Chains A and B, each alone.
Chain A
Amino acid sequence: MSRAADLALGASALALAGGYAAMASALPVSLLSDSVGPGGVPLMIAGLMASAGAVLMLRAALVAPGAASERPHHRRTAGLAGLVALYVLAVPLLGYPPALGLLGAAVAWFAGARGVSPALFAAGLAGVFWLMFVVVLGIPFPVGSLFGGL
């Protein structure tokens, strides 16, 4: 890991610990509460996190920087995460099988499949999953508001 990355990680850990501790301190204490209270253990965890962050920053500042590794393609990663996020938004609107089919086709295409195969694959996938989860297991997936369901 590079020195900058370790410094950034240490600083993030410190910031997270600070925010978490502030929220823990602000927790209301119930009449049912014990001597530790709802914020007691979270404050200990925040202390652990802050200490680890501070040590990491200190070590990164003192130790010589390491060699940089091959850079991954963050855009492709972000694209894939975006497709799943779109699926979460689309399911209530389109319903389960169409949204799942679109997700399958989009991911296969995004990952390099071309031609009509991704579409055929996605249609089959949506059908098999609908059969397995909805028909066999009886799980109530959203029907989709576009089609008059919830």
Chain B
Amino acid sequence: MTILFAFAGCLWGILGGALPGLSPSIAMALLLPFTYGMEPVPAIVLLASVYVGAEYGGSIRAILIRTPGTNASAAIALDGFEMARQGRGGEALGISLVSGLVGGLFGLAVLVLATEPLARLALAFTPAAYFALAVLGLSVIASLAGGSLTKGLIGAGLGLMISTVGTDPVSGVPRFTFATPELLGCIRPILVMVGLFAVAEMLVQIGEPAWARAEARDTRLTLPGLSMMRRLLLAQAIGCGIGTVEGVTPGAGGTIAAFMAYNEARRRSKEPEAFGKGAPEGVAAPEAANNVVTATALVPLLSLGIPGSNSAAVLLGGFLVHGLTPGPLLFEKAPKVVWGLYGGLLAANIAMLLLGLVILTPALWLVNRPKPYLLAAILCLIVSGVYAIEQSLFDVGLVLGFGVLGYLLRLAGVPVLPLVLGVVLGFMLESNYRRSLVISGGDHAVFVEDPVAATLLAAAAALTLWSLWSEFRRKT
């Protein structure tokens, strides 16, 4: 019966993740009331399976219609959508599915075997370390700038500017809101990404001189063969390694992991120039990283009771509803629930593979309809999904604005990835920088005295210098 809940939860999660407007946490929250009358184990398994399915479902629409479902799946859209555009959508979905499974199972193994030591790592993260982690995330800009570091910096600057809109995280002063109440919270990164990726893509496509020309496309799901699996092994290993470390740090989530894994796979590839143009490794690395994070993000929740993401917070709600308090005592008081959760996550990952095999071919068929109707359907899906997030037409207008911005940036040759990273990491960077200085009484030495922060900052400096040196060598 519990396995059935894992399949049902995973199916709902995949559908929810693939639908704009339903984030993984919302998909989970919608099911939370149904778990009230259930036994604790199936209830937790149901919620955890929705979580696994939704994190994967976000990648389907990122690949097929360049609309990332989660912040992390923006990294998967880069090469995944390029592959789909080249008529290799079935291959991209197959790679994403298998890499997601590899990442999910690896993350589960880490969760089962190493929760205790990893929990200690999570505790070592001070505000200074979080600041350094954000700097490390931003350091990949040097290699994701697409040939022009200057334009990459302009993109990153724009993203950081967008992240400062709203209420100041320390003093509560409204900033850059132009007296608009809707901007007092902040601009959600997902709105920026849907605009920059999906809406801008449609504006670009309809403006192309060969817009109406039919393209031969792949309409069947293609799972990677043995030789492709061997080729993807390094990228998946990179994703698994980075995802393990990033997943256990509350708040960091899959975004940094996915982008860093993408960058690292590109850096270590024999053909780095193929990235961004439909490289299978560009799908495998971030997908594996994202799915590892799905499991390892539960480490701080289970061992310390700290929900590291919105989805983990809903899962925490599920535990509390059944009178269970996550934390060190959970393993002693309710081992059945903990092991039930592990078993449910395993079943959810297998369900993800089986359900993927069933639903991905129809999804490919759907995106191969005549272009005018496909364009209209995707636009309608976007405007409906964006409205559904906060029931705000202002948000729909914002997404259109970011779409136009993305279109102009493409014309100007400014890469959008640094912008996305700036938006996603800007708040984390500023709030932790200022909190650290408040704690240290304004002394910047806190960033080198904290061992975790110092290590991460040194890694960021090394990564930036390495990327710049590689770019320089490639050009000369």
Q: Report if A and B associate in a common complex.
A: yes
B378 CB to closest chain A CB (Å) equals 9
Hey, what's the 0/1 contact readout for A36-74 against B, CB within 8 Å counting as 1?
Answer: 111111100100110111011001000000000010111
Interface assignment of A108: CB less than 8 Å from any CB of chain B: yes
A92 CB to nearest chain B CB (Å): 7
Shortest CB-to-CB span from A88 to chain B, Å, is 5
User: Does any Cβ of A come within 8 Å of B153's Cβ?
Assistant: yes
* B211 in the interface (beta carbon within 8 A): yes
Decide if B233 is an interface residue (CB 8 Å cutoff). no
Q: Are B400 and A84 in contact (CB under 8 A)?
A: yes
B207 / chain A contacts, CB cutoff of 8 Å? 72-74, 76-77
Min CB–CB distance A63 → chain B (angstroms): 11
Chain A residues with Cβ below 8 Å from B160 are: 45, 48
A88 touches B380 (CB 8 A): no
Give the docked Cα–Cα distance between A42 and B166 (Å).
Answer: 12
- Contact call A80/B202, Cβ cutoff below 8 A: yes
Whether B173 contacts A28 by the Cβ 8 Å rule is yes
A86 to B467, CA, bound (A): 45
Q: Decide yes or no whether B333 CB sits under 8 A from chain A.
A: no
Is B180 close to A, CB under 8 A? no
* Docked-complex contact B204 and A85, CB < 8 angstroms: no
Which residues from B are CB-within-8-Å of A51? Answer: 153
B241 on the A face (CB < 8 A): no
CA distance A70 to B411 in the complex (A): 11
By a CB distance below 8 angstroms, the chain A residues around B209 are 70, 72-73
A133 engages B384 (CB within 8 Å): yes
B3 in contact (CB, < 8 A): no
In the complex, the answer to whether A121 meets B373 with C-beta atoms within 8 Å is yes
By beta carbon, the residue of chain A nearest B199 is A84
Chain B: interface size category: 35 or more
Which of A34, A40, A48, A88 is within 8 Å of B438, CB to CB? A34
Assuming the A-B contacts A72-B204, A81-B203, A103-B380, are A36 and B433 also in contact, with contact meaning beta carbons closer than 8 angstroms in the complex?
A: yes
Cβ of B176 under 8 Å from chain A: yes
Which of A38, A56, A84 is within 8 Å of B151, CB to CB?
A56
Complex formed: what's the CA distance from A109 to B393 in Å? 24
Main secondary structure of the interface of B (DSSP, over half): helix
Does B208 lie at the interface of the complex (its beta carbon under 8 Å from any beta carbon of A)?
yes
Q: Is B33 an interface residue (CB 8 A)?
A: no
B377 at the interface (CB under 8 A from A): yes
Set B157, B168, B429: member contacting A13, Cβ < 8 A: B157
Decide: B434 and A77 in contact? CB cutoff 8 A: no
CA of A17 to CA of B161, assembled, Å: 9
Across the two chains, which residue of chain A brings its CB closest to B371? A111
A59 touches B150 (CB 8 A): yes
Which residue in A28, A33, A92, A108 is a CB contact (below 8 Å) of B373?
A108
A85 touching B400 by the CB < 8 A rule?
Answer: yes
Asked if A52 meets B153 with Cβ closer than 8 Å, knowing A1-B413, A80-B206, A139-B391, the reply is yes
Chain A residue nearest in CB terms to B396: A88
Whether A107 contacts B433 by the Cβ 8 Å rule is no
Q: How far is the CA of A35 from the CA of B176 in the complex (A)?
A: 20
Q: Does B465 contact A (CB under 8 A)?
A: no
Q: Which of B157, B397, B407 contacts A52 (CB 8 A)?
A: B157
Closest chain A residue, CB of each to CB of B414: A9
Considering only residues 83-123 of chain A, those with a C-beta below 8 Å from chain B are: 84-85, 87-88, 91-92, 96, 100, 103-105, 107-113, 118, 121-122
Asked if B171 contacts A29 (CB within 8 A), the reply is yes
A92-B388 CB under 8 A given contacts A28-B173, A52-B153: no
> B175 interface residue, CB < 8 Å from A?
yes
**Can you name 5 A-B pairs with beta carbons within 8 Å?**
A27-B175, A45-B157, A48-B160, A103-B380, A108-B373
Top 10 nearest A-B pairs by Cβ distance? A111-B372, A49-B157, A72-B207, A30-B171, A52-B153, A107-B376, A77-B207, A113-B372, A38-B168, A33-B171
